[in-house]
Structure 1
Amino acid sequence: MTRAAADSSTAPGALDGIRIVDLTTVLMGPLACRMLGDHGADVIRVESLDGDSTRNGRPARSAGMSGFSLNLQRNKRSLALNLKSESGREAMRRLLARSDVLVTNMRAAALERLGLDADSLRAQFPQLICARANGYRSDGPYRDKAAYDDAIQAASGLSDLIGRIDGAPGFVPAVIADKVTGLHVVQAVLAALFHRERTGEAQSIEIPMFETMVAFNLVEHYRGAVFEPPEGPFGYERLLTPHRRPYPTADGWVCLLPYSDAQHRAFFAYAERPELADDPRFADHNSRIAHVDELYAMFGELAARRTTQEWVDYCDAHSIPAARVMNLAELDTDPQLAAVGLVSIADHPSEGPYRHVADPVLYAATPTRLRRHAPLLGEHAVEILSELGYDADSIDALRSDGVIVTPG
């Protein structure tokens, strides 16, 4: 595995010159702001004096620097600020006056108490784009409900989809609602920046987890129910059969997904059942979907006739989607990931060696890069406040009054 160093070169990223205030917690907002920071934005993470749960989780080599945070908080500067104090709010106002975007997942009532609601910010900072990511949109009756990933998986229909396969509702073993919504935060901020560039107008944005995940789930599962009146039930049949799963081979597990007519013909020939390609149940796409339970159950029976590597080699040679089932620990040795350098060993100045997960997207003109390792809590307080016009005595006073904290 290669080693990665923070790139201190002056080569600009796509968002070079854009300052983003990251007033978020947990995963959705920090991930979105990390991605914006990867593109060269100056992301200033405004944290509570204690830091949030992802910073303070375990395992960790030192307090406040969890394994979560090393990749989630890279390419950011940290300002730990007591926003309940007037001095802290004044520092925040000075920061927002010099910023392009505020991203927050605080609830509306809390923002209003701090004077950070969209109406107040628009009046004070006409250049500022305000992006608020919450559980539910503010123009609906759920606007004040608490929301975390599991609750949104349940409310959005995702848990029920799992139940239609397994017999009982379940959760995807990933914080998928947070991550999907985080991606929507990024595209919303980029669209708002582009609009401001063209028109000079900043705007407020709401990115709700619930509505985002409902829209996400309906892409393929509306099916016949998209018509009015409905032409069929909700749900894409191919995805809802219990036989859609990795199949046991002679020596392991494999994903096999012939999709086109030609791919099915080649698959059945290698499985020594060439006659199935002309079976009316499997002869074309719509017939296969109508008989997907039978088709995928048969895949499971046929897969056991050969080894995993035999299947993968044959499918690769015939452009049939197939993959060995890997666990996360095995991905360190995957030849594709090694060749593209997705994961490398980086050396954090305080935490030592860690696995740095790069941005997977390849840009020809504006590549993303590791410019800053994840910061210690309040690591950049003096630097940031100096930029905002505070002198050394004023910064010392803020520290003494418990408005800021700095490392050490």
Structure 2
Amino acid sequence: MLSLLKGIRVVEVGAVVLGPYAGQILADLGAEVVKVEPLEGDIARYAHPTGAGGGALFVNNNRNKKMVALDLKSPDGRAALTALIETADVIFHNMRVDAAERLGLGFEAVAAINPRVVHCAAIGFGQRGSYRDRPAFDDIIQAASGIAGLGAATAGEPRFVPTILADKVAALHAVYGILAALVARANGREGPIKVEVPMFEALAAFLLNEHLAAATFDPDGAVGYPRILSPHRRPFRTADGWIAVLPYTDRQWRAFLTEVERTDVIAQDWFADPRQRPAQIDTLYALVAEALPARTTDAWIEALEARDVPCSRVAELGDLLTDPHLAEIGFFDVPEGYGEGVVRMLPQPVVFEGVEASLDTAPRALGADSRQILRDCGLDERQIERLIAAGVVGAA
């Protein structure tokens, strides 16, 4: 855990992946992240597979946080939340807007309590459009944003990207939105700051970065980046497995074609013309696919790396656990005393040097920090014990 955000308190009312993933990044950067859960806990705590620290999905998204359990549907629970909001620099949630407002987590309600707060809501659809009240889950956003539809262009039918893409992309947008707001506040910006992160818009912008294409300049222009949408752009079969090969520059294509003894292609008029060659990408990819089964994956990697042609063997999920590069950088290392049962931990991939750091802490039990956090918010012991006895506050 780094010290870059030391002194910043973030109240995260998040569940499953989007909110917790963003909250963990902020916690890893040094913010004091207070995760507010319902009395039954974040459902990710119980998602299979589970270990000593709970579900793997929970363990991988909730380290370095403090845990408070509150019944936000009760007046006393909302009063405790109000006390917490008063002490916060950032309020962050990933629930539907109407639900947030019912629980006192809407922007206006939070700003009235804390006029210096950064309020970030990660939601399904932007509130200025007609989709604003639609429910949103990763599959729904992948479909609505065009991500799933890309499969129709390359594989004949729509398909989901097999990772929780929308949640994680939106979480990263939430992190930079929160950090930008904190910088503005540090530079003298007064008053509350509202940050809205819609999953749909985040994924649409993410996708269209390259695929807006000709529509960038022409209202009726075609969308789609041809090389990316080519059905021939895929991992290629070798004599004993699969490999990714990407000659991209003129030099790399010449090197590859020389290696496979197809210098006749280099002699074509279109090959040397950077405006014509992209139109021949299917021809070039087909040529790659035709050549690669002649050798093993290892043989191709040796030959192509010698010619500085970008390539990689195609790893499966399990291969990452024994990847030599990841082992050398300690990618999965778990700090001593981190927590029982955790044998691998995922780091933040951004590396900082010259920054004070401390050991990471494992995800905490449900309500583990309820008493201390409420004390910090000004409640006395009798008030806290009354709320616990009334079933409003959960305390481990």
Please give the alpha-carbon distance, in whole angstroms, between the structure 2 residues aligned to 1:284 and 1:362.
40
Tell me if the contact between 2:90 and 2:120 (Cα under 8 Å) persists in the aligned partners: yes
Q: 1:38–1:369: 8 Å Cα contact kept in structure 2?
A: no
Whether 2:9 is the aligned partner of 1:16: answer no
Letter in 2 for 1:395: I
Return structure 1 stretches of 4+ with deviation > 6 angstroms.
none
Match of 1:383 in 2: 372
Contact 2:19 2:93 in 1 (8 A): yes
Alpha-carbon contact 2:338-2:360 (below 8 Å) kept: no
Aligned to 1:203: 193
**Residue identity in the other structure for 2:122:** A
Cα separation, 1, equivalents of 2:336 and 2:58: 14
Partners of 1:96 and 1:180 lie apart in 2 by 26
Contact 2:335 2:360 in 1 (8 A): no
Which residue of the partner structure matches residue 30 of structure 1? 20
Quote the residue 1:3 is aligned against. none
The match for 2:360 is 371
Greater mean deviation of Cα atoms: 38-47 or 340-349: 340-349
Match of 2:386 among 362, 374, 397: 397
Identity %: 41
Superposition deviation, residue 399 in structure 1: 1.2
Distance 2:246 2:161 in 1: 21
Give the whole-Å Cα distance in 2 for the aligned partners of 1:285 and 1:66: 51
Does 2:117 correspond to 1:118?
A: no
CA deviation after TM superposition for structure 1 residue 366, in Å: 2.8
What secondary structure is seen at the aligned counterpart in 2 of 1:95? Answer: helix
Match of 1:244 in 2: 233
Once the 2 structures are TM-superposed, how far is the Cα of residue 346 of structure 1 from its aligned partner?
A: 4.7
2:65 is aligned to: 76
* CA distance in 2 between partners of 1:369 and 1:288 (Å): 52
CA contact (8 A) 1:255 1:325 kept: yes
Distance in 1 separating the partners of 2:119 and 2:181 = 9
Once the two structures are TM-superposed, the CA of residue 274 in structure 1 deviates from its matched residue by 2.2
Query: Which one of 12, 18, 29 corresponds to residue 39 of structure 1?
Result: 29
Distance 1:171 1:368 in 2: 38
Residue 79 of structure 2: aligned partner: 90
Q: Which runs of 5+ in 1 are unaligned?
A: 1-6
2:209 to 219, 232, 236: 219
Where does residue 325 of structure 2 map in the other structure?
Answer: 336
Q: Aligned partners of 1:217, 1:138: CA distance in 2, in Å?
A: 21
SS at match of 1:83: coil
Give the distance between the partners of 1:374 and 1:284, measured in 2 at CA: 56
Distance 1:71 1:383, change over 3 A: same
Partners of 1:15 and 1:365 lie apart in 2 by 14
Deviations 1:266-315 (A, max 9, x none): 11111122222222343344333201111111111111122211222222
Task: Give 3-state SS (helix, strand or coil) of 1:171's partner.
Answer: coil
CA contact (8 A) 1:347 1:354 kept: no
Could you tell me which amino acid in structure 2 is paired with residue 69 of structure 1? Answer: F
Q: 1:101 to 1:333 in 2, by over 3 A?
A: same
Q: Following the alignment from structure 1 to structure 2, what is the Cα–Cα distance between the partners of residues 349 and 40? A: 17
Match of 1:323 among 280, 305, 312: 312
TM-score, normalization by structure 1: 0.92
How large is the RMSD of aligned CA atoms in angstroms?
1.7
Please give the alpha-carbon distance, in whole angstroms, between the structure 1 residues aligned to 2:317 and 2:385. Answer: 46
Cα distance in 2 between the residues matched to 1:395 and 1:191:
35
1:298–1:347 CA distance, 2 compared to 1 (3 A): same
Aligned residues: 395
CA–CA separation in structure 2 for the residues paired with 1:165 and 1:77: 45
Match of 1:4 in 2: none
Quick one: distance in 2 between partners of 1:221 and 1:144?
Answer: 27
